[in-house]
Every structure is written in structure tokens, then in C-alpha cells.
Amino acid sequence: MAASSDPSDPRSPAERYAASRHRAATPELTTFAAGYPFGLDPFQREACAAVEAGEGVLVAAPTGAGKTVVGEFAVHLALRTGRKCFYTTPIKALSNQKFHDLVARHGAEQVGLLTGDTSVHGDAPIVVMTTEVLRNMLYAGSDTLDGLGFVVMDEVHYLSDRFRGAVWEEVIIHLAPDVQLVSLSATVSNAEEFGEWLQAVRGGTRVVVTEHRPVPLWQHVLSGPRLYDLFAPPPAPPATVSPSLLRLARDSPTYPGPGRRGGRTRPRGGLFRPPNRAQVISRLDAEGMLPAITFVFSRAGCDAAVRQCRHAGMWLTTPEERAEIRRVVDERTAELPDADLAVLGYWEWLEGLERGVAAHHAGLLPMFKTVVEELFTRGLVRAVYATETLALGINMPARTVVLESLSKWNGETHADVTPGEYTQLTGRAGRRGIDVEGHAVVLWRPDLDPQHLAGLASTRTYPLRSSFRPSYNMAVNLVAQVGRHRARVLLEQSFAQFQADRSVVGLARRIGRTEGTIQELRTAAGCEHGDVTEYDGIRRELAAREAEAARSRSAAGRAAAATALDALRPGDVIHVSRGRRAGGAVVLGTGHPGPTVLTADRQLRRVTPVDVPQPPQVIGRIRIPTSFQPRSPQARRDLVSTLRAKGYLEGRQGPRQSRATRGGPDERTLELRRALRAHPVHGCPERAEHLRLLIRVDQLEREVNRLRLQVDTRTGSIAKEFDQVCGVLGELGYLAADRVLPAGRPLARIYNEADLVVAECLRRGVWDGLDAPLLAAVVSALTYEARRDDAPSPRPPSAAIAALRATGAVHTELVSIEAAHHLETLRAPDPGLARAVHQWASGADLAAVLGESELLPGDFVRWCKQLVDLLGQIADAAATLSETARVAARRIDRGVVGYA
């Protein structure tokens, strides 16, 4: 092929010749690229060329860089060569979006969709699916895999996900060797390591990494009306903080100084109030920086932000845009019954949309989220307040991303946003082909440290860490397919094992250095008066006996407290004399491990035996109104006022245990005390220093033991855990050597975190005889998990209590068996959704169900969707419950759940 002789071509003859050679070597890429209105970037060309050459490829690139082009090229190749391509995504919403994109490009007859609850043209040459669907196909040996040539794994960095990450590794390991794997990842700092593993398990794999953003990202801090640049312009060195921003920080009375993250500091002049959200959006609008996504890290905060904008009278839309918004909403929500609109918050949601403002979080009805995504993508909604789940989910780029805070609740405490999280969140700023630049804006707080923010913005550390663990379902499927020995070999190929093995050399070095330090410290601890080690042994035994005596006294106190807590009933007013829950409170509901109470400061708390060193004193009783809503601040305030009016919240003291009843030390303790005082080392003036050195020796010896255990467990750790899983299954009669016994076959169809509990309940007939609503209610305990801030759960329906208790007993027994095999995988059932599910499956309307449970619509729909999936698996796995489970699934999958 001759090089171009076009005189307007700015390239040199050598460059034109090289491009000509490349076109000749990659004819399909040339054809494919011609269909795009923009030229492909170098990383896209390199990755696509590798795919055309028959290699697998790992592409790690920033959000918005265009890495999905490589996946679309695999689709193109599959169609051109008569092979199939599966395009997998981590969530159904992404699968739906990609399905529509590919249908628009290739036509409806060429593209299918499989997401567990949706099946469209499943035998098409191109099928979009969730990764779990492909995993299940592989285990089932589905005929749909015939002719498969390419698998695109979009968002492959999801294999770090603690709950679902194993699915990605299972697929990568089990795909046929001749299938080309196209892995698309966000920018990760160990892409080369991940690529080495792909090379080891899949063969030829090209790693293509780029940190180039096609749309530049500018970093800012917004303080009042002023927008500061985070970084100083050239000729200042890169990542140099803007002097004007540093001056702002130094002038703040609470400036924490370098190295501090900032907390909830009260500056001089009163509590700091964050800027009005409507003013922030107006400021961005004036700068031409809309549309914007503001990350709030709280569902309630997202909803409150939209309310603030509505109440401020903010309008970001024209009359024509408002008419189009209403048309889209009417079309997309036409199936919703009028009776459900009020309980779903439809009218408030619609008013926000018409103003150009919306929230986006998991508590929002999926149908509403889809509308928000569509309107935002079309530029009709211009300000979205979202939780961080948006950063890992649907494709919703914006011109600007705003962070209201650099700390977030991680489920246990308020923690700083990491550099990786900051990169992931701000990566949505800047729309390719629309914006010439993107903007990341952090709202000013008096405790903000610009140096810390600059570190977040300039650091690219997002390591990919495997979360792979063998599950019971995985074990029976692998043993059924390839036998136990071959299964161990396959699991040793996991990325988890690859990462673990690479760390063993470093651990061995640490052990050697630590043992040398131990020897030096032992020599330095020698004492001329006597044997320090012997003296330390007496001291340790004495301390251990005294601690055990204290624990025994504490255990007796906790047992008495547990008994007292179990006896409490709603309406009892109690006073806790000491401990974490000290003070007066009224009991709202009972449960395990303790009752839920309303405290004097109007907080909902659960009181457990751990919280109270002594039994709480019942000091009275009041009536709890039947209409009482625990989440209502006014209701809580009124109830506390009632307690105060009756004098229940005045200081009271419970009975204290006298010293005389505690019991004195036993004879052995007294003997040890005498021996310690009589030992020659006891009189050494340097005794404290000798003991300090021995304490350090003891710490280092524990460290060595811990490191040795890590070496032992990391060498073949995945295979060892697989053996433990198989040990549990063998004890239960599910496996025998290389065979899956009849009892284990239903387990192969249960893809759930509680897979073994489900299988064992089916085997024992725990749920036999339940009608469809009751079966749904009981099974919901194995899918639902209450959030930290959920209100006390309604009591399960009385007809389901026996089955729920039996299910809990099965779980308890399995936990005991697991412990004997050194495993801990099964989460306890949570019946908090049982009443709502029973009502819904019995035909109750949405207002009644949500009114009693106080669940958000989106949460209710999400839990119900998971329940429908599990009921479908039960229907496939258990002949005796098959029809009941299918009826239960149909009764749940109605109304707003079905519309999702």
C-alpha cells in the first residue's frame, strides 16, 4: 500500500509510510476507526491492534478517556469474523445502557441482553450481560458459549469488590483458552501486576496503560463567591498550591496546618455553616461550569440539597426544557399507578426535575434514577446531588464535579477520602466531545488543609486488590466439573493467590531481621541480681490470674444485665447507672442482642449487655403511642418531653455491688504475690528497664509468629481455604472425595452469600408447608441487611416466626461446623424486611408497606429484586418448593418492583 502523497498532510514521509504499514497490518481497525467522527487516541489504537492480532488486552485508563472503544472493537471483530462476543458489566444499569448503545450501532437483531431478570435475544452474536450471568453459564456448561470468540469485561477493577469481586476471577480462570479477553479498567497503580497475572492464566495479554485525560481537569476550591485555583500556574513547579489559597487557609482561625486532615472544628465566632447549595450552583452557573454532580456522601443529604434548591426558588431550565422534561417523565413513568405517586415522592421529584435539579442514590426508585440519568445526559437536568455509588456505576459525565467534604462515613467511622476515591469521584468531570475542560471543585471549610487536598488531587494510587474467596456454591460446581484436585489447581491460579505468593519473600526478610533484634534485646535485658525471665514469668502468671478474676466478675455482671434486658418490654423506662449507655431511656422495641431505646438526648440506640456493666433499673412505665414514628424528630422530642414531665430523666443511681460481695484473691494468687516480692530481681534498681526490654522481646516474638503464620497461610492459602470449604461440605454429606452427592446438587444452583444456609434449609424441609407470601418473608432474611441508620424493624408476621427461628437455628449450627473447620463466612439472617415482604406478597399497596417499614422506595425495590433472584434460584433447586417459590417471586415482582 502506497503512502499518502497528499500535499496538505502535515506528517513527514517516514510518518506517512509508518501509518500506511499500520493500516495494512490492521485492516479491520482501519475500517472500524473510519466509523468514528474523531480519530482514535494512541492507546486505543495500540489496544485494538493487539486484539486484531489475536492477543488479550488489559486497558487501564481514566474515566472518560474512551477505553470502551476497545470493547466495541472486539464487538466489531466478532461480527466480521462470525464469532460471538459477550460484553459484561458489573451492574444491570450499565448492561442496559450498553445494550441500547450497541443496538443503536449494530441493530436490534445483532444484540442481546441477559441480566438475570431480563432476557432479550439471548442467542444473538453480541450479548450484553452482567458478569454473574456469564459465571453461571460457565458452571452450567451452557450451549450459549458455543462459538464464543471474545469477552469484554468492562469495569474489571470491580474484582476488588468485597462482596462480588470473586465473580470476575472465576470468569477469567474458567473461560476457554481460545476466547480473547478484553479487560477495561479504571486507572490502577498496579496494572502491570494484574497484567502479569492475566498473562499467567490466559496467555498472551497486552497491557495498555494511559493516564492521559482527553479533557483536562482543573482543580478548584470554592469559598463564598470566590473560586480559587488549587494549583499555582506555571512557572511554579507542578502540584504547587496556589499562594492565594494558602493565604485564605492561614487567615482561618482553625487552620490545622500541614499534615492535618481537618475535622469538625468550631472556629471563633460560632459553628461553621457550609455554603447555601443554591448559591453554589448559581456560582457555577455564572462561571459556565454546569452541568455539575455534587457528591454529598449521604442519601438524606442528597434529598435535603434538592429541597434547599427548590425552596430557594432556583430555576436552571427554560419553559421549553420544562415541557420536554415533563414529556419524558410522563412517558417513562406511565406505568406507575396514581395511588403510588404520593408515597414515592413523585410530585416533589418532578418539581426538582423541572427546575433542573435531582438527587441520585440507592434509596431512589430505579425508574426515577433512570429518568435522572437520561435527563442529565441530555442536559435537561443540570445539577445532580449524588452519593459515591454514582462514581462506580452508570455513565453520567458532567462538566464539573463538586465535593462538599473530604471525609465520609465508611460504615464504622468518618474517614478521609483516599487519593483513589478522589480520582474516581472527580474523574466524571469533563465530557469528551462536549467540554474543552473539566472542573473539580471542593467547598471551603475552615479546617481544610490545601496541602492535603493537593496531595489527593496529584496522587494516582488506586491499587487493585483481589477479594477472591472460595464459596460453597463455587466448590460444588468446580468439583462437579473438574474434580477436587483439578479444582485446587484452578484456584491456585487466582489473582488472590498470585498477589499472596509475591509477598512471601518480603515476609521472610522481615522475620530474619526481627529475630536478630530479639537476640540483641535478650542480651541487653540480663540482670546481675537474678533471672529476669523467671521473674517476668511470675509477674505474667500473676497478671493473668488477676485479669481472669476480673473477667469472671465482669461476665457475671453481663449475664445479669442480659437477663434484665431480655425482661424489658416496650414502654419500660429504664435508668442505666454506668457504661456507654448511661442515663435514662424508654424502651421502644425488643430484639437480639438487646432492646432499642430512645435516650434523653432523643437518640435511637440499641442497648446490649456489652453496653451496661450492671442490669438497668426499671424506674417506671409509659404508653408508646401507636402512631409513634421513630424517625420523626418531632415524635422523638414529644416522647422525651413526656419522660421529663414524669420526672423519669432526673439523676438516679442503680444498686452498686459492694466490695464485700466481690470475693478476695485465691491461694495461688496470694502465693504468686509473695514469690514476686521475694524474688532477687524485685529489688534491682533497673528492674523496670529489664522488664521493658522483655516486653519488647515478647512483642517482637508475637510479630515473628504472626509473620510465620502469614507465610504458611499465603503459600497455597486459597487452596487451603477451598479444602476447609470442602471439609464443611463433606461433613454435611454434600461431597465425597471427587463426587458431588445428591444432597449437594441443589447448592450448585444457589448463587447467594447465604448459599449453604439456603441449601440446608431446603434439605431439611424448614420451609415446606409455607405459602408464597410466608416463604418470601422468611427467605428475605437471607438477602436483607439493615443499614446502620435504619429505624427499629417491625416485628415479623407471627405465622413466619417459627420458620424464621428454624432458619436461624440452621445458621447457628452451620456457624459451629464452620468454626470447627476454621472458617467464618456466613452472615446471620436479618428478619427486618419480613413483615414488609409478607404484606407486599399478600397484595398490600405500596403506601401501607412503606409506611410501616419506613424503607425508602429504592431500598425496598432493591431488596425485593435480590429476593426475586433468590426465589428463582430456589425454584430451580428444590422440586418440593418450586411452584411456591415461583408464585412468591411473581407476587414480589409487581408494581414498582416489576417496573424496575
- The band of 266, judged by pLDDT with boundaries at 50, 70 and 90, is very low
Confidence (pLDDT) at 900: 59
Number of Cβ within a 10 Å radius of residue 365: 26
- How do residues 223-254 score in pLDDT, each as one tens digit? 888 899 988 888 888 878 888 888 888 876 65
DSSP letter at 3?
A: P
* DSSP code per residue over 168-207: HHHHHHHS-TTSEEEEEE---TTHHHHHHHHHHHHS-EEE
Q: How far apart are CA 430 and CA 438, in angstroms?
A: 4
Residue 608, CB-side half-sphere exposure with 13 Å CA sphere: 4
- The band of 264, judged by pLDDT with boundaries at 50, 70 and 90, is very low
pLDDT (average), residues 211-228: 86
Q: Which of 156-170, 592-606, 648-662, 795-809 has the lowest mean pLDDT?
A: 648-662
Confidence (pLDDT) at 269: 44
- The band of 489, judged by pLDDT with boundaries at 50, 70 and 90, is confident
pLDDT (average), residues 93-121: 85
* DSSP code per residue over 624-642: PPTT--TT-HHHHHHHHHH
pLDDT (average), residues 35-47: 85
Residue whose C-alpha is closest to residue 388's, from 362, 352, 358, 419: 362
Residue with C-alpha cell 471542593?
A: 442
Above 60 in pLDDT, residue 95? Answer: yes
CB under 8 A, 24+ apart: contacts of 682-689: 682/535, 683/529, 684/527, 684/529, 684/530, 686/527, 687/527, 687/535
Residue whose C-alpha is closest to residue 766's, from 808, 735, 799: 808
Confidence (pLDDT) at 390: 63
Q: How far apart are CA 444 and CA 427, in angstroms?
A: 20
pLDDT (average), residues 810-819: 93
What pairs with residue 726 in β-bridges? none
> Are 541 and 716 spatial neighbours (Cβ–Cβ below 8 Å)?
no
pLDDT (average), residues 490-515: 77
Q: How far apart are CA 508 and CA 512, in angstroms?
A: 6
Confidence (pLDDT) at 52: 92
pLDDT (average), residues 485-507: 78
- How do residues 770-797 score in pLDDT, each as one tens digit? 999 999 999 999 999 886 555 556 788 8
Above 70 in pLDDT, residue 10? Answer: no
Confidence (pLDDT) at 113: 92
Confidence (pLDDT) at 271: 53
What is the DSSP pairing of strand 205-209 with strand 84-89? unpaired
Dihedral (Cα; 274, 279, 284, 286), 10-degree rounding: -150
Burial degree of 710 (CB within 10 A; 0-12, 13-18, 19+) = middle
Residues 6+ apart with CB under 8 A from 249: 255, 448, 449, 450
The whole-model pTM stands at: 0.68
- How do residues 632-645 score in pLDDT, each as one tens digit? 888 889 898 888 88
Residues 6+ apart with CB under 8 A from 301: 385, 404
Residue whose C-alpha is closest to residue 220's, from 415, 377, 459, 448: 448
Q: Which of 99-108, 523-532, 752-761 has the lowest mean pLDDT?
A: 523-532
Confidence (pLDDT) at 298: 83
Most confident of 302-306, 706-710, 785-789: 302-306
Q: How far apart are CA 545 and CA 551, in angstroms?
A: 10
DSSP letter at 747?
A: G
Above 50 in pLDDT, residue 259? Answer: no
- The band of 462, judged by pLDDT with boundaries at 50, 70 and 90, is confident
Please measure the distance between the N-terminal and C-terminal CA atoms of the chain and give it in whole angstroms.
53
Residue 467, CB-side half-sphere exposure with 13 Å CA sphere: 15
> Is the sign of the CA dihedral 827, 832, 837, 838 positive or negative?
positive
Residue whose C-alpha is closest to residue 787's, from 882, 719, 855, 733: 855
Confidence (pLDDT) at 328: 94
- How do residues 69-91 score in pLDDT, each as one tens digit? 999 999 999 999 999 999 998 88
Burial degree of 607 (CB within 10 A; 0-12, 13-18, 19+) = buried
Confidence (pLDDT) at 759: 95
Q: How far apart are CA 796 and CA 833, in angstroms?
A: 8
For residue 550, report the phi and psi dihedrals to the nearest 5 degrees.
-65, -40
What type of residue is 156? V
Q: How far is CA 456 from CA 248, 302, 688, in A?
A: 19, 24, 45
pLDDT (average), residues 440-450: 87
Q: Which of 190-194, 212-216, 729-733 has the lowest mean pLDDT?
A: 212-216
Residue with C-alpha cell 454529598?
A: 296
Residue with C-alpha cell 458459549?
A: 145
Q: Please report, for the chain, how many H helices and E strands are present, in that order.
A: 32, 24
- The band of 659, judged by pLDDT with boundaries at 50, 70 and 90, is very low
What is the DSSP pairing of strand 407-409 with strand 572-576? unpaired
Confidence (pLDDT) at 8: 52
- How do residues 538-592 score in pLDDT, each as one tens digit? 888 888 888 888 778 777 777 888 888 888 999 999 887 766 667 888 999 888 7
* DSSP code per residue over 227-294: EEESBPPTTSPTTPBPHHHHHHHHHSTT---TT--------TTS---PPPHHHHHHHHHHTT--SEEE
> Are 360 and 299 spatial neighbours (Cβ–Cβ below 8 Å)?
no
Q: What is the mean pLDDT of the chain?
A: 84
Above 90 in pLDDT, residue 680? Answer: no
Residue 225, CB-side half-sphere exposure with 13 Å CA sphere: 1
Q: How far apart are CA 336 and CA 845, in angstroms?
A: 12
For residue 578, report the phi and psi dihedrals to the nearest 5 degrees.
-145, 170
Confidence (pLDDT) at 349: 93
Number of Cβ within a 10 Å radius of residue 899: 18
* Angle in degrees, 0-180, between the axes of helices 346-355 and 299-311, rounded to the nearest 10: 60
Residue whose C-alpha is closest to residue 122's, from 98, 142, 104, 139: 142
Confidence (pLDDT) at 275: 73
Q: How far apart are CA 851 and CA 843, in angstroms?
A: 15
* Angle in degrees, 0-180, between the axes of helices 419-426 and 450-458, rounded to the nearest 10: 70
Cis omega (within 30 of 0) on the bond before 291? yes
Above 60 in pLDDT, residue 663? Answer: no
Above 70 in pLDDT, residue 42? Answer: yes
> Are 449 and 260 spatial neighbours (Cβ–Cβ below 8 Å)?
yes
Whole-number percent of the chain with pLDDT over 90? 32
Number of Cβ within a 10 Å radius of residue 113: 25
What type of residue is 139? Y
pLDDT (average), residues 103-124: 86
pLDDT (average), residues 92-121: 85
- The band of 359, judged by pLDDT with boundaries at 50, 70 and 90, is very high
Cell of 32: 472500524
Cell of 612: 451496661
Whole-number percent of the chain with pLDDT over 70? 88
> Are 875 and 886 spatial neighbours (Cβ–Cβ below 8 Å)?
yes
Confidence (pLDDT) at 502: 75
Residue with C-alpha cell 480462570?
A: 173
Above 90 in pLDDT, residue 325? Answer: yes
Residue with C-alpha cell 490502577?
A: 188
Residues 6+ apart with CB under 8 A from 213: 62, 64, 65, 430, 438
What type of residue is 451? Q
CB under 8 A, 24+ apart: contacts of 321-328: 321/356, 321/380, 322/354, 324/380, 325/353, 325/354, 325/375, 325/380, 325/381, 326/350, 326/354, 328/371, 328/374, 328/375, 328/380
Confidence (pLDDT) at 410: 57
> Are 226 and 248 spatial neighbours (Cβ–Cβ below 8 Å)?
no
Above 60 in pLDDT, residue 619? Answer: yes
